């Protein structure tokens, strides 16, 4: 439209010469000087657009003007009545409805037709379309309105019932979440209670052992004191008596020393081992329950994924000649898994127990990457500069090959 045109001002004395850019060219990002103005389309036109404007059937009857560049559309006063506005173009409210498009079965102004309906067939002026096209009787439209309103009211009632059911669904899900949360918490508490009891039991046993060893050490101290006293009081004995006492004291001291050594290095300790597999499953879990939308007309919009942990699985196929080299793995919508085996040039499908239920040979080229692109479709990038799209149902179906360089 006119206000979209670009212009430059140059002042000569007290007058300003305004040069406008072509409106269609400006819409495309080009700056072409306008030579004409179409008051009906409210567009400024360069030489090239002017020729096309005069050739197109919807605008060829328009009168182009030379001296209308200074007019301001925004200064015009809207004196259109409400009744007349009913017959204004929906896209250009300042223009009257003039044309009918048979392809879209809709009425437009000539500007709409010129811009957006050039390839449509069945373009007629409103007067011509009025004479050719049979209009349904008003009472037929009224009956259709009554029928539609009844259907809308029935649908509203269904929505009200649906809202009540949805509210119940929400309450049921929240109850399930709470029950599941309590179940897990109760299980963890029960496991914690058991291990606490075992810890206290082990501690009591070790404590008694240490107390018993301490009593042995007290006895050893008493015995060594006794040996000391006897040695200090044997000076009155003759050589034979001192020799006999020496041998006995030496034997007693050796026993006390052995008793001390037996308890000296026996340090009592306690330690625990975490159930890392259980802790990892809980700490890395991304969801407790999965809430999905469902409707009566089709399956759920999303199926919860099946998750299972294994320490070691075998994915060797019957026809494998090399060790399996997994370079990609993805889970399909039905819960099964697909792995890309590089060295055996194949795709392998695993069930929820990770057993092979299907294999697909990729030919002579090895896969180098794989990703899911649909509910049951994967894209496999091969070494021969191709991307292979494979659909997986009961069998593997190669659909499309794209070459890249």
Assess if residue 309 is contained within a domain: no
One-character DSSP codes across 307-357: ----S------TT--S---EEEEEE-TTS-EEEEETTTTEEEEE-TTS-EE
Closest listed residue to residue 390, CA positions, set 356, 349, 343:
349
pLDDT, one tens digit per residue, over 216-233 is 888 888 888 888 888 878
pLDDT band at 304 (very low <50, low <70, confident <90, very high): low
Statement to judge: residues 252 and 157 lie in one domain: yes
Closest listed residue to residue 68, CA positions, set 47, 28, 26, 40:
40
| Residues 203, 205, 210: CA angle, nearest 5 degrees | 90
Token pair 């819409």 in the structure block, residue: 27
Statement to judge: residues 165 and 104 lie in one domain: no
pLDDT exceeds 60 at position 19: yes
Q: Which residues contact 295 (CB under 8 A, 6 or more apart)?
A: none
Structure tokens at 405: 């360089």
Statement to judge: residues 166 and 108 lie in one domain: no
- Domain range spanning residue 59? 2-75
CATH code, 87: 3.30.160.60
**What is the mean predicted confidence (pLDDT) over 189-218?**
90
Decide which of 34 and 265 is more confident. Answer: 34
**Domain end position, chosen among 217, 245, 264:** 264
> 2 exposed, middle or buried (CB, 10 Å; 0-12, 13-18, 19+)?
buried
Closest listed residue to residue 342, CA positions, set 330, 329, 356:
329
**What is the mean predicted confidence (pLDDT) over 90-115?**
87
Structure tokens at 13: 């004395």
pLDDT exceeds 60 at position 298: no
Tell me which of 44-53, 79-88, 89-98 is least confident. Answer: 79-88
d(CA 378, CA 371): 6
Statement to judge: residues 346 and 245 lie in one domain: no
Structure tokens at 129: 């379309």
Given this model, what pLDDT does residue 12 score?
32
Statement to judge: residues 204 and 242 lie in one domain: yes
H/E stretch holding 394 reads none
Given this model, what pLDDT does residue 8 score?
37
Decide which of 2 and 372 is more confident. Answer: 372
Given this model, what pLDDT does residue 6 score?
38
Statement to judge: residues 69 and 87 lie in one domain: no
**What is the mean predicted confidence (pLDDT) over 85-100?**
82
pLDDT exceeds 60 at position 81: no
Decide which of 344 and 135 is more confident. Answer: 344
Assess if residue 303 is contained within a domain: no
Given this model, what pLDDT does residue 9 score?
32
Assess if residue 232 is contained within a domain: yes
Tell me the C-alpha to C-alpha distance, in Å, between residue 349 and each of 334, 361, 366. Answer: 12, 12, 17
At how many degrees (to 10) do helices 138-232 and 239-264 cross?
Answer: 180
Residue spans of alpha helices (H) in 118-275: 126-132, 138-232, 239-264
Assess if residue 68 is contained within a domain: yes
CATH code, 398: 2.40.10.480
Decide which of 261 and 57 is more confident. Answer: 261
Statement to judge: residues 57 and 94 lie in one domain: no
Assess if residue 278 is contained within a domain: no
**Domain end position, chosen among 220, 248, 264:** 264
Q: Within 13 A of 158's CA, how many CA atoms are on the CB side?
A: 7
Given this model, what pLDDT does residue 179 score?
93
Closest listed residue to residue 325, CA positions, set 370, 294, 280, 263:
370
Tell me the C-alpha to C-alpha distance, in Å, between residue 248 and each of 133, 243, 255. Answer: 137, 9, 11
Closest listed residue to residue 16, CA positions, set 25, 29, 5, 7:
7
- The DSSP code for 304 is P
Reported residue count of the chain is 405
Tell me which of 1-5, 101-105, 137-141, 350-354 is least confident. Answer: 1-5
**What is the mean predicted confidence (pLDDT) over 76-89?**
57
User: Domain total for the chain?
Assistant: 4
Structure tokens at 368: 């180098």
Assess if residue 320 is contained within a domain: no
pLDDT averaged over every residue in the chain:
80
pLDDT, one tens digit per residue, over 135-175 is 655 677 788 888 999 999 999 999 999 999 999 999 999 99
Rg over CA atoms, the chain: 47
Given this model, what pLDDT does residue 252 score?
84
Given this model, what pLDDT does residue 330 score?
87
Decide which of 5 and 242 is more confident. Answer: 242
pLDDT exceeds 70 at position 3: no
3-state percent breakdown (helix, strand, coil) of the chain, nearest 5: 40, 20, 40
**Domain end position, chosen among 229, 264, 299:** 264
Tell me the C-alpha to C-alpha distance, in Å, between residue 355 and each of 51, 311, 344, 349. Answer: 72, 14, 17, 8
Given this model, what pLDDT does residue 138 score?
61
């Amino acid at each position: 439209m006119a206000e979209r045109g670009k212009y430059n001002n140059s002042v000569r004395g007290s007058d300003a010469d305004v040069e406008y850019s072509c409106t269609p060219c400006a819409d495309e990002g080009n700056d072409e000087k306008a030579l004409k103005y179409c008051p009906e389309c409210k567009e400024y036109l360069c030489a090239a657009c002017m020729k096309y404007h005069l050739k197109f059937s919807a605008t060829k009857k328009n009168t182009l003007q030379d001296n209308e560049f200074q007019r301001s559309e925004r200064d015009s006063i809207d004196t259109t009545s409400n009744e007349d506005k009913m017959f204004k173009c929906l896209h250009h409210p300042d223009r009257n409805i003039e044309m009918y498009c048979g392809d879209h079965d809709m009425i437009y102004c000539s500007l709409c037709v010129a811009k957006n309906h050039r390839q449509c067939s069945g373009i007629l002026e409103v007067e011509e379309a009025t004479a050719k096209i049979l209009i349904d009787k008003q009472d037929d439209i009224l009956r259709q309105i009554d029928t539609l309103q009844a259907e809308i009211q029935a649908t509203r009632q269904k929505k009200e019932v649906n809202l009540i059911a949805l509210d119940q669904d929400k309450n049921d899900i929240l109850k399930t979440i709470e029950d599941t949360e309590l179940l897990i918490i109760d299980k963890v508490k029960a496991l914690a209670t058991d291990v606490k009891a075992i810890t206290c039991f082990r501690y009591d046993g070790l404590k008694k052992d240490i107390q018993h060893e301490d009593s042995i050490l007290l006895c050893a101290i008493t015995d060594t004191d006794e040996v000391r006293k006897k040695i200090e009081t044997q000076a009155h004995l003759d050589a034979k008596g001192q020799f006999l006492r020496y041998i006995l004291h030496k034997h007693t001291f050796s026993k006390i020393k052995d008793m001390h050594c037996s308890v000296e290095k026996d340090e009592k300790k306690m330690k625990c081992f975490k159930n890392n597999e259980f802790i990892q499953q809980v700490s890395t879990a991304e969801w407790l329950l999965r809430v999905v939308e469902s409707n009566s007309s089709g399956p759920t919009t999303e199926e919860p994924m099946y998750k299972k942990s294994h320490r070691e699985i075998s994915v060797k196929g019957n026809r494998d000649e090399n060790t399996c080299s997994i370079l990609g793995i993805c889970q399909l919508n039905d819960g099964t898994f697909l792995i890309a085996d590089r060295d055996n040039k194949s795709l392998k499908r695993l069930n929820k127990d990770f057993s092979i239920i299907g294999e697909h040979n990729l030919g002579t080229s090895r896969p180098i990457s794989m990703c899911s692109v649909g509910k049951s479709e994967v894209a496999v990038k091969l070494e021969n500069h191709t991307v292979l799209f494979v659909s997986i149902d009961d069998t593997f179906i190669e659909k499309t090959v794209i070459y890249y360089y």
